Amino acid sequence: MKRTTLAIAASAAVTLLLAACGSAVPDEDGGDDGTTAPGEEVRIEVMSNFTSDIARGEVLDELIAEFNAANEGTYEVVSTTEADWPTLQQRIRAMITAGTTPDLFLYNFNPTDLSREQSGALMDWSQYLAEDPEWAARFADVNIDALTMDGQVVGIPGDQSPALVYYHEDLLEQAGFSEFPQTWDEVVALGEALAPEGIGAMAMMTADDAWHTMNVFSYLATSAGGEDAYAPGTSLNNDAVVTAADYTERLLEVSTPDAVGANYSVSSANFLGKRAAAIIDGPWLISSIQSEVEDPCSVKVSPAPVLADSAIPAGYTITDSLNVWGAAKQDDPAREAAVVAWMKFFTSNESAVRMAVDGEYALAVQTELTDEDAERASCQMAQVLEITNAAPTAVVQMGRGITASAQEALPSLLEGLALGQRTPEDFAAALDEANAN
């Protein structure tokens, strides 16, 4: 799931394909008024990166087959996939621009770029959520609020992977800890206890998007300053960011020796190889734990620690960006009904459980496991769902909301902090300056 960046080449052939995807359904008289003839089966396309060769794609295919069988003669769902996430996002943008918006598509929500949401091409879900309060309650209010614009709900929350603490239980016991530390000061103490053994407290990194380190940083900043510590439009030269930089510097000191300059692969390998006691990552790490750790169930999952005087209650989560199911605005009520029917089926608890347990992919809905489900789930996924369901609030990771200039500057700023070349105050001022560009 970690990021690839492939160049996108435009061609006339792609343009023709996109136009074909948006073709309307002929009417009874063979015309093309965009409506479905009475009694005609409605066919809708679902576009995502859930390819059939990965677990979540296999489950999606199974769910589509079941939905189609149950609605034979009324609705038919077909899946169109693109494995590379950036390519998929570019393709969706091109289709919206060309006026051939897909029936239903998964995209990355960015509050600093609302061109898709404000294009006028997306369906409004507010009526359907209002008519079915039980369905609406499955989604977090904060996500529905984020997707509500000018009184319209422009999408349905798809997934928002929580970044949680994964830790080796035996390494903590070795350092004298019976559970994962509940404060960041205790994490520093954990690192000091493990240092003589050559083991880091947290697997961290400074290269690329500094994902693992920025998860730590985001928890620290929000614990110090609350949910809006680095909200868009907020100056990053503030006390919460300074506090986060101070603790991040300390944690880098008790991380692995190669944390400065490490990328995602190195940092992950340090955790999986037990050169670090813990890591903060998304649930995509679970498959690697299951395949690479000798005793997978010895790896536990925990909410992140908080500062002693935390501005947010313990148990909250930092998340990756929200991915959203957008839908094309339809002139045909039958097609709109088909889209809604599928989305309600896909986001039902039964489907969400199967996606989480069998697809190792948690949807952005409340997901309740039965005892039998929990037994089938991987050791970590059951804990991830429990923590996510209980979280009092969720905040998107800081790196996902800063400008491209700030993202580009981040590695060198973190390295300067770790090497003592920048004070926490210098770090906050420089990051804020880069974020203004």
Question: Is 376 part of a structural domain of the chain?
Answer: no
- Whether 337 and 430 map to the same domain: the answer is no
Angle at which helices 55-70 and 333-346 pack, to 10 degrees?
Answer: 130
**Domain of residue 116, residue span:** 12-154+323-363
- Whether 54 and 97 map to the same domain: the answer is yes
Res 177: pLDDT: 96
With 90 as the cut, is the pLDDT of residue 243 above it? yes
310, 203, 201, 254: CA torsion to nearest 10: -90
Question: Is 140 part of a structural domain of the chain?
Answer: yes
- Whether 191 and 284 map to the same domain: the answer is yes
- Whether 310 and 198 map to the same domain: the answer is yes
CB 376 within 8 A of CB 285: no
Question: Is 276 part of a structural domain of the chain?
Answer: yes
Question: Is 300 part of a structural domain of the chain?
Answer: yes
- Whether 176 and 267 map to the same domain: the answer is yes
Domain count, the chain: 2
d(CA 347, CA 2): 24
Question: Is 381 part of a structural domain of the chain?
Answer: no
d(CA 215, CA 319): 8
Q: Residue written as tokens 């991830």?
A: 384
Q: Residue written as tokens 């390295």?
A: 415
Question: How confident is residue 385, by pLDDT bands cut at 50, 70 and 90?
Answer: confident
Question: Is 419 part of a structural domain of the chain?
Answer: yes
Res 168: pLDDT: 98
Burial (Cβ within 10 Å: 0-12, 13-18, ≥19) of residue 396: buried
Q: What percent of the chain has pLDDT over 70?
A: 92
- Whether 281 and 355 map to the same domain: the answer is no
Helix (H) or strand (E) holding 282: none
- Whether 74 and 188 map to the same domain: the answer is no
CB 396 within 8 A of CB 232: no
CB 390 within 8 A of CB 317: no
pTM for the model stands at 0.77
- Whether 92 and 144 map to the same domain: the answer is yes
Question: Is 6 part of a structural domain of the chain?
Answer: no
Question: How confident is residue 33, by pLDDT bands cut at 50, 70 and 90?
Answer: low
- Whether 134 and 240 map to the same domain: the answer is no
- Whether 148 and 178 map to the same domain: the answer is no
- From residue 392, alpha-carbon distances to 91, 156, 204, 318, 368 in Å are 36, 21, 26, 11, 17
- Whether 350 and 227 map to the same domain: the answer is no
The tens digit of pLDDT for each residue in 172-227 reads 999 999 999 999 999 999 999 999 999 999 999 999 999 999 999 999 999 999 99
Q: Residue written as tokens 């079915």?
A: 132
Question: Is 384 part of a structural domain of the chain?
Answer: no
d(CA 314, CA 326): 33
Give me the mean pLDDT over the 423-437 stretch: 96
Domain holding 19: CATH number? 3.40.190.10
Tokens of 41: 């089966």
Res 34: pLDDT: 56
The tens digit of pLDDT for each residue in 70-115 reads 999 999 999 999 988 889 999 999 999 999 999 999 999 988 789 9
- Whether 106 and 128 map to the same domain: the answer is yes
β-bridge mates for residue 301, sequence order:
166
